[in-house]
Amino acid sequence: MSFGRAGKNDYLCTLIQKSLNMSLSREISHAAQLIREGKVVAFPTETVYGLGANALNAMAVARIFELKERPSFDPLIVHIADRTELNRLTTSNDPRIDLLAEAFWPGPLTIILPKSDLIPDIVTSGLETVGIRMPANEIARALISEAGCPIAAPSANKFGQLSPTLAQHVAKQLPDVDFILDGGQADVGIESTIISLNVKGFEILRHGVITREELEKIIPFHALPDAEKMNIVSPGMLKSHYSPEKPLYILEKETAVPADRQRVGILSFKGEDTDGYAHVEVLSHTGDLKTCAVNLFAAIHRLEEADIDCIVAQAVPETGVGLAVMDKLRKAAYRYL
Ligand code: AMP
Ligand code: MG
């Protein structure tokens, strides 16, 4: 058989692609096997890398808490690949779940629902509710399907530290994990939006890329007054979280911009006012807030590795996805306020 030059390249590309796909599918099968054996596997999702175990196996889930050094009061999100799984994981048949799933799943939306007895208490930290989502990342869904069980997974980092958007970030923070399934960069880059449902509508427990405005097109927003909340502890709302090891300060109006920038790195919103800093990371040259969310953690990881003493961050507008970005920045900066 003979090839023209382009034809031969095409053929080689297809071969390389096929063998890459084959090795990826072998890796997915291996990871699924480990999950079935009760092991803990890091895997890509579109938000950030997750640290997953069989959600129905309490011992396996316990290992997630151990590896992450996560306090037991902080519940895990359960990931599914198929909507019919809801039947056995929640006791609710609220028709709004279908509306939300139709609009946002697979995707970065976690819905808090009454849990069924099948879910061990360790997953929900003893709460009567469970957070469930169907990830958009196809590797994640293939893993869940092949494992044949829902996968409980928090972000694959040590508790309170920066969330990983690359397999390398996981390897650095969690060298003892049983296996890391490398799926390249997480393309949303920040955690899912978390909502709970009440009789009148939904309430946001954690901001993410799916915004209140988008959700309101499907069902009404209704925040319960504090007194009516059934003791909802949503520890994702802790004040300090997502923290880099270097001090991080937000340059809000009252904060003085440092005069000596030689040992300072800047996390810039659009790349303006960055002269003189030792290291510059720009979230989005066009000021697009979704792009900022995608780049946020990876940019902070690079600032962590740069030869600087501290990080300053420019504030982004607090509208739409900007709410989630500023929420993460405030938590990252909290220790240094
Ligand atoms: P992550 O660390 O990204 O896996 O997010 C887990 C977060 O989801 C927790 O820190 C809580 O804020 C939230 N969460 C999970 N399950 C529940 C639940 N049953 N009720 C309220 N919040 C929950
Ligand atoms: Mg996390």
Domain limits at 276?
248-334
**What per-residue confidence (pLDDT) applies to 320?**
87
CA distances from 272 to 10, 243, 262, 275, 281 (A): 43, 24, 17, 8, 11
Cβ–Cβ under 8 Å, residues 310 and 263: yes
Tell me, yes or no, whether 209 and 301 share the same domain: no
Tell me, yes or no, whether 82 and 156 share the same domain: yes
Tell me, yes or no, whether 64 and 135 share the same domain: yes
Q: How many angstroms is it from 56 CA to the middle of ligand 1? A: 17
Q: 257: domain CATH number?
A: 3.40.50.11030
Q: How far apart are CA 216 and CA 8, in angstroms?
A: 52
Atom of ligand 1 nearest to the CA of 154: 4
Q: pLDDT: is 3 or 221 the higher one?
A: 221
**What per-residue confidence (pLDDT) applies to 6?**
44
Q: How far apart are CA 221 and CA 256, in angstroms?
A: 38
CA quadruple 305, 309, 314, 319: dihedral positive or negative?
positive
Pocket mutation for ligand 1, best pick of 113, 130, 132, 194 (most atoms within 8 Å of C-beta): 194
Is the predicted pLDDT of residue 8 greater than 60, yes or no? no
**What per-residue confidence (pLDDT) applies to 1?**
34
**What per-residue confidence (pLDDT) applies to 225?**
76
C-alpha 308 chain-centroid distance: 27
pLDDT tens for 107-126 read 999 999 999 999 998 899 88
Average pLDDT over every residue of 37-66: 95
Q: pLDDT: is 235 or 142 the higher one?
A: 142
**What per-residue confidence (pLDDT) applies to 229?**
61
Q: Choose one of 194, 228, 262: the last residue of a domain.
A: 228
**What per-residue confidence (pLDDT) applies to 288?**
94
Q: pLDDT: is 244 or 193 the higher one?
A: 193
Cβ–Cβ under 8 Å, residues 47 and 186: yes
pLDDT confidence band for 93 (50 / 70 / 90): very high
pLDDT confidence band for 254 (50 / 70 / 90): low
The domain total for the chain is 2
Q: Is 244 in the pocket of ligand 1 (CB under 6 A)?
A: no
Tell me, yes or no, whether 309 and 192 share the same domain: no
Q: Is 238 in the pocket of ligand 1 (CB under 6 A)?
A: no
**What per-residue confidence (pLDDT) applies to 252?**
83
Tell me, yes or no, whether 149 and 294 share the same domain: no
Does some domain include residue 274? yes
Q: Choose one of 193, 228, 263: the last residue of a domain.
A: 228
Is the predicted pLDDT of residue 309 greater than 60, yes or no? yes
Is the predicted pLDDT of residue 38 greater than 90, yes or no? yes
> How high is the mean pLDDT of the chain?
89
- Round to the nearest angstrom and report the end-to-end CA distance of the chain: 69
Is the predicted pLDDT of residue 270 greater than 90, yes or no? yes
pLDDT confidence band for 9 (50 / 70 / 90): low
Q: How many angstroms is it from 192 CA to the middle of ligand 1? A: 10
Tell me, yes or no, whether 179 and 261 share the same domain: no
CA 289-297-292 angle, to 5 degrees, is: 10
Q: Is 75 in the pocket of ligand 1 (CB under 6 A)?
A: yes
Question: Half-sphere exposure of 86 toward its Cβ, with a 13 Å CA cutoff?
Answer: 22
The ligand with the least distance to the CA atom of 164 is 2
**What per-residue confidence (pLDDT) applies to 244?**
86
- State the pTM of this model: 0.82
Tell me, yes or no, whether 60 and 175 share the same domain: yes
Does some domain include residue 10? no
Q: How far apart are CA 148 and CA 282, in angstroms?
A: 41
Q: pLDDT: is 16 or 226 the higher one?
A: 226
Average pLDDT over every residue of 155-178: 94
Q: How many angstroms is it from 132 CA to the middle of ligand 1? A: 9
Average pLDDT over every residue of 271-282: 96
